[in-house]
Amino acid sequence: MKGFGGGMNMQQLMKQAQQMQEKMAKVQEEIEHETVEVSVGGGVVSVVANGKGKVISMSISPDIIDPEDPEMLQDLVISAVNEAQDKAAAHTQEQMSKVTGGMNLPGFM
């Protein structure tokens, strides 16, 4: 019986898969401690999220708080949170693809 991938046997393939899984777990752990920051509205709303996209802090300039127009502030907060989560997801994808060599492995990202 011939091996996989140009002579690679199943044991070698399993060892490589295990090594990749260990590297991915390490990267996922590191990513959780990294942060991304975004600002919207000319810097009046800023959001910091961790690598998993969880918002860990937010700042809102008092100048933007208008009791007559709460919708504007709501829109800015939503925009900042969404942008921070998107940026965190892109960063995570980039870091994970370094480990996987660009392969898309469902369930690992």
38-91 confidence digits (pLDDT tens):
999 999 999 999 988 999 999 999 999 999 999 999 999 999 999 999 999 999
Q: Could you report how far apart the first and last alpha carbons of the chain are, in Å?
A: 34
Closest CA to 93 of 78, 81, 104, 80: 104
Higher pLDDT, 3 or 38: 38
Assigned CATH for 24-89: 3.30.1310.10
| 1 pLDDT more than 50 | no
pTM, two decimals, is 0.72
Higher pLDDT, 102 or 108: 102
CB within 8 A of 55, min separation 6: which ones?
A: 47, 48, 49, 81, 84, 85
* Phi, psi values for residue 92, rounded to 5°: -60, -45
Residue 35: which H helix or E strand, with range?
A: strand 35-40
Q: Where are the domains of the chain?
A: 24-89
